[in-house]
A = this chain, B = another copy of it.
Amino acid sequence: MPNAPRPPRRVTIPDVARHAGVGQATAARVLGGYGSSSAATRERVLAAAAELGYSTNAVARSMISGRTHTLGVVVADVENAYFARAVRGVTDVAARAGLQVVLANSDENGPTERAAVQMFIERRVDGLVVAPAAADHEHLDKAVASGVPVVLLDRVVSGAGLDTVVVDNRGAAQAAVARFTDAGHTRIAVVTSASPDENTARLAPGADIWTTTERLTGYRQALRAAGIPRGAELIRHTGYDRALARSAVLELMCAEHRPTALFTTDNVATLGTLDALLDLGARIPDDVSVIGFDDAEWATLVRPRLSVVSQPVQELGRLAADILIRRIEGSTARPRRHTLRTAYVPRESTGPAPARVRRLRAPGE
């Protein structure tokens, strides 16, 4: 950082005290709103403060109180609607409790996350909400050891022993895919940003690694439960890339034995899938049924409107903040996982398996 000039000296409590003709401890009590003081002096001090334009120095206050009234939040990317909603939930609860929120984006990058957490510890935030990018938790342990409580959001880190606020991704996905099997579908594909290699999944950069992998597992379980053999799974790993998802679906839907139902594990996959279906001129749900994971404003824009699994994202953030605040206030309850309910939102993109599968042709671009 280049040279930054020291900020101008500001009015302090001694200044106000002098101006009001009282001792500084007295002025401090009035301005800090603690201890006792007579109405007369209170008035004098307040008047002097107003006259001089005094404003509390929260840094000095934090210095001695040990509290910064600040929460650190680490998410992958605020620009992602999911995290934006979660952050909003956190800030709402925090603001009500008189806490401010410092934001850091990890971009699903472990080292970036670690650096952010380290910085938060140094800044002495009162607590930390983290949507972890990787499975290691040394940095989080360090935070807790330094007296900074941590609550995990959206993703579980096994063995971390931390409060965690999540959604039942696997169960929700299974239930969604079960709608397909119940409706007679047998060729059901999934389009996902989850990594094909489950071992590296937790380490790889990219979005929503953990949650999408869980949703993929839910898909598998649903097929299994419906007696569909493992060989009949139709999985397309497209990364966190809309165009890739589109071309994968294009290819998938033009194949000999194309699926009659599509499940997407995340919004980017959904967007790419709809791109493909729209370009193919596929009739939804007559040709294909579609269910997406996570609701979005555009889910009701496409016709037919898209059926989705919706998650209470803001609520996730709010709950995380709630739990965190309780910890800051000294709760020593055993950390546990809080699983919030998802909801299947039936709209018009799902129907029974077609009796006859119409052949689709790639658009002549």
Contacts and interface: CB of A to CB of B under 8 A. Distances in A.
Interface of A: 1-8, 10, 53, 55-60, 62-63, 65-70, 77-79, 81, 84-85, 87-88, 91-92, 95, 97-98, 100-105, 118-119, 121-124, 126, 145-148, 242, 271, 274-275, 278, 296-298, 300-303, 314, 328-330
Contact of A102 (B2, B102, B275): B102
B102 A56 contact: no
Contacts of A278: 301, 303
A87 B78 contact: yes
Contact of A66 (B3, B7, B56): B7
A100 B66 CA distance: 20
**What copy number does this chain have within its complex?**
2
A58 to B, nearest CB: 4
12 contacts: A3-B329, A4-B329, A55-B122, A58-B123, A70-B102, A79-B314, A84-B84, A100-B103, A100-B123, A271-B297, A275-B301, A301-B301
A63 B66 contact: no
Contacts of A126: 4
Given A79-B84, A119-B100, A298-B301, A124 B275 contact: no
Given A59-B63, A97-B1, A105-B88, A300 B329 contact: no
A124 B148 CA distance: 22
B10 A146 contact: yes
A100 B104 CA distance: 7
Nearest to A1: B98
Nearest to A61: B122
A77 B88 CA distance: 8
A148 B101 CA distance: 19
